[in-house]
Structure 1
Amino acid sequence: MDRRQFLTAGAVSGLALVVAACTEADPSPPPTSTPDSPAPDLPPSGAGDPVVTGTVAEGLNVPWAIAFLRDGSALVTQRDDATIVRVTPDGAVRTVGDVSDAAPRGEGGLQGISIGPDEDAVFVYYTTARDNRLVRMEFDGARVSNPRPLITGLDTAFNHHGGAVVRAPDGYLYVAVGDAAQPDVAQDVNALNGKILRVDDGGRPAPDNPFGNEVWSTGHRNNEGLAFDAAGRLWASEFGQDRRDELNLIVRGGNYGWPEFEGESDDPGFISPVVTWPPGEASPAGLAIVGGHAYMAALRGRRLWRIPIDDASGESDVGDPRGLFTDTYGRLRAVAAAPDGSLWVSTSNTDGRGRPAPGDDRILRVAV
């Protein structure tokens, strides 16, 4: 397979693309299927096809990120009321804490979450009245408490917050920070916006970072999904502006081009994405990798993208992406690999840009 798979779609006006990419807007009609109906773009009996096996939980408030505990339950951030809930596999939902200084607005609020290796701490990314920040909170299994700021002063705006947080096999935290609608900052290696950061649990730069600070990679516009594959490589989903959304394979010190280019570039100083989509088919959010496939949630695209990746040999080739559950559940935001081998996927229909169905927002269980 060619490493760059460029997908095409029907014509969309330039204005509509700008609105969709920049604001996650969804001008399309609501899904016509019932929540548990078969996905229309899947064959009815194909072996190995992912299938939604049920609803884990419902009635949630913009569930933005999902992080699993060893017992199979998950901590889920709710963006717009800045609370963290614990969701068990059998559907019990219990609030374990809130973030008192969060100030949700626009696309910001309580976003990414990662659980410490001993499950005695959580790391969350959120918006305050004056900045975006990464904070460590204690977790005793029942409550989160005692927030301690690790990285503060990240520029904030109505949109382009980034927000994904993931723990790597090397033990460090990787944090996606959006450009806060200031494109030029993404090329400044001394600024933290428009970057992917790599830090320890105290928020300090990892010692072998490429620029001597927190920055791991540059040239990003708005990454909302980060995931590691079986080979230990980092992948990131990224909102484009008005032409191409992206899936990128992230390397140390890599420059991913924003705002100098969007999508593919022939400039050897920049790294091109491995897959692109028109914004109407994507507006990519959460990302998870299971069994040699990357699964990327799409907001405006209202589907789950399944992208074959070669995570055994370490090659950057990808197979043909395939859209799953298109228009069946509305906007999809979080996707996480559960301990039992399934995926948990959240809807995002109560975020002001979707059309909620009864029970929204919900978390779906997908067998892959």
Structure 2
Amino acid sequence: MADDLEVPWGIVFLPSGDALVGERGTARLLRVTPKGRTTTLGTVRGVVAPSGLGEGGLLGLALAPGDPDTLFAYVTSSSDNRVVRLSVAGGRVGRPRAVLTGIPTSTHHHGGRLLFAPDGTLFVSTGDAERSALAQDTSSLAGKVLRIRTDGRAAPSNPFGNRTWSYGHRNIEGLAFDAAGRLWATEFGEKKSDELNVIRRGGNYGWPVVEGRSDDDRYRSPAATWSPTSSCSPSGLAITRSTAFVGALQGQCLFAVALDGTSAGKPKAYFARDHGRIRNVVHAPDGSLWVTTSNTDGRTSPGPHDDKILRVRL
């Protein structure tokens, strides 16, 4: 679909079928048509690019429900990670306005995925900012799935009376709903196991006490795991046709995981090492998958015309 990009991270589709794509380090916002024509709308101001092997920058994107001119973005600033809103009306990138600030930041483990629920609330995934103990602190914004209103306040009926929806997470970069409205997430493990989880209200997913499956009923076990973590490193997530499609960075493939309710089958790899590191997977309006590579992020040698957006028919 497109090439010569620099770490394309977030993708959202406009009613026209065109996509808005954010580049992590440059903070550029691109518009890509279904025929692959790419134009630059502008740069999201205030984004601090990662240095070295850092993972911050312009991360997740989400369009406001019913308002394709308003974009929400998860960004790294000079002092924190934050959720901002900005106008993209007329093909121009407006000034970001802070919605939620103070999400802990570090070199790694930013989280960064945004996903609107049918009720208009916004789910936000955050990393532990390399301070693992924060993941078990329900009052901290780090190592969580947050649920907020569009003005940044805690959404009604959250389990702890604040923004926290679930906790005990190390680093979530993928969020998606299945056809039944269940929320799923991909999570980076440390060394033992990467995870695909069903996210439950108030659930404790164990980090840093537990990594992978556990017999301790205080912690929710994943539906699927990858061991060791070098075999996957799951980032983006799309769910369609009762299948979770997972972008694997170190695994350098697209994993397909059959779902049956809250149960998951054995992951199956597609395109293994054909395109390098796979960052994001998005279900497009035409039923295809748009898949982004992440070969210009400093962790591998880029191929010709990396990074790319690929279109995969199912």
TM class by smaller structure: over 0.9
Asked if the contact 2:224/2:265 (under 8 Å) is kept, the reply is no
Tell me if structure 2 keeps the 8 A contact 1:80–1:109: yes
Give structure 1 regions of 4+ aligned residues with deviation exceeding 4 angstroms: none
Pairs within 5 Å for 1:334-353: 334-353=280-299
Cα distance per residue 1:35-86 (max 9 Å; x no partner): xxxxxxxxxxxxxxxxxxxxx0111110011111111111111001011111
Please tell me whether residue 271 in structure 1 is matched to residue 216 in structure 2: no
Matched-pair contact (CA < 8 Å) for 1:306–1:321: yes
Instruction: Specify which of 255, 260, 263 is matched with residue 317 of structure 1.
Output: 263
Q: Of 218, 223, 238, which aligns to 1:288? A: 238
After superposition, residues 15-54 of structure 1 pair within 5 angstroms as: none
Q: What amino acid is aligned across from residue 93 of structure 1 in structure 2?
A: T
How do 1:228-243 residues align onto structure 2 when only pairs under 5 Å count? Answer: 228-243=177-192
| 1:101-116 equivalent positions in 2, closer than 5 A | 101-105=46-50, 106-116=54-64
Task: Supply the distance in 2 between the matched residues of 1:235 and 1:141 (Cα, whole angstroms).
Answer: 34
Give the superposition deviation at 1:97: 2.3
C-alpha displacement of 1:343: 0.2
1:100 maps to what in 2? 45
Match of 1:90 in 2: 35
Superposition map of 1:115-130 within 5 A: 115-117=63-65, 118-130=67-79
1:318 positional shift: 1.6
1:361 to 283, 307, 311: 307
**Partner residue of 1:196?**
145
Distance 1:253 1:153 in 2: 21
After superposition, give the CA deviation of every residue in 1:311-352 in whole Å (9 maximum; x if it has no partner). Answer: xxxx31122210110010000001100000000000000111
1:167 to 116, 127, 135: 116
The question of 1:244 aligning with 2:189 is answered: no
Residue in structure 1 matched with residue 14 of structure 2 by the alignment: 69
* Structure 1 CA distance for aligned equivalents of residues 90 and 290 of structure 2: 21
Give the conservation status (yes or no) of the 8 Å contact 1:160–1:180: yes
Give aligned pairs, total: 309
State yes or no: 1:300 paired with 2:245.
no
Cα deviation 1:224-250 (Å, max 9, x = unaligned):
000011100100000000110000000
Q: CA deviation at 1:170?
A: 2.1
Task: Report the counterpart of residue 42 of structure 1 in structure 2.
Answer: none
Query: What pairs with 1:133-148 in structure 2 (closer than 5 Å)?
Result: 133-148=82-97
How far apart, CA to CA, are the structure 1 residues paired with 2:90 and 2:313? 27
| Inter-CA distance 321–157: structure 2 relative to 1 (3 Å threshold) | same
Deviation, structure 1 residue 94 = 1.2
Aligned 1:208-223 pairs, distance under 5 A: 208-223=157-172
Partner Cα distance (1:159, 1:248) in 2: 21
> SS at 2:41's partner residue?
strand
Residue pair 2:293, 2:309 contacting (<8 A) in 1 also: yes
- Report the Cα offset of residue 169 of structure 1: 1.9
Cα distance in 1 for partners of 2:43, 2:59 equals 12
- Whose radius of gyration is greater, 1 or 2? 1
Higher relative contact order (CA 8 A, sep 6+): 1
Map Cα deviations across residues 253-308 of structure 1 (whole Å, 9 max, x no partner): 00000001100111111101111102121101100011110000000000000001
Provide the rounded CA distance (Å) in 1 between the counterparts of 2:86 and 2:47: 14
Residue number among 121, 132, 139 corresponding to 2:81 in the alignment:
132
Q: Which amino acid aligns with 1:295?
A: F
- Residue identity over aligned pairs, in percent, reads 53
The answer as to whether partners of 1:65 and 1:335 remain within 8 angstroms in 2 is no
Higher mean C-alpha displacement, 57-66 vs 97-106: 97-106
Tell me by how many angstroms 1:141 deviates.
4.1
Between 1:253-262 and 1:98-107, the stretch displaced more is 98-107
Query: Contact conserved, 2:45 with 2:96, CA < 8 A, in 1?
Result: no
Q: Distance in 2 between matches of 1:188 and 1:59?
A: 41
Q: Structure 1 length normalisation: TM-score?
A: 0.83
Give the TM-score of the pair, scaled to structure 2: 0.97
| Greater per-residue strand proportion | 2
User: Unaligned regions of 5+ residues in structure 2, if any?
Assistant: none
Q: Find the aligned partners of 2:305 and 2:17 in 1 and give their Cα distance.
A: 23
RMSD between superposed Cα atoms in Å: 0.9
> What SS class does the counterpart of residue 264 from structure 2 fall into?
coil
**Could you report, residue by residue, the CA deviation over 1:204-243 in whole angstroms, capped at 9, with x for unpaired residues?**
1111110111110000000000001110010000000011
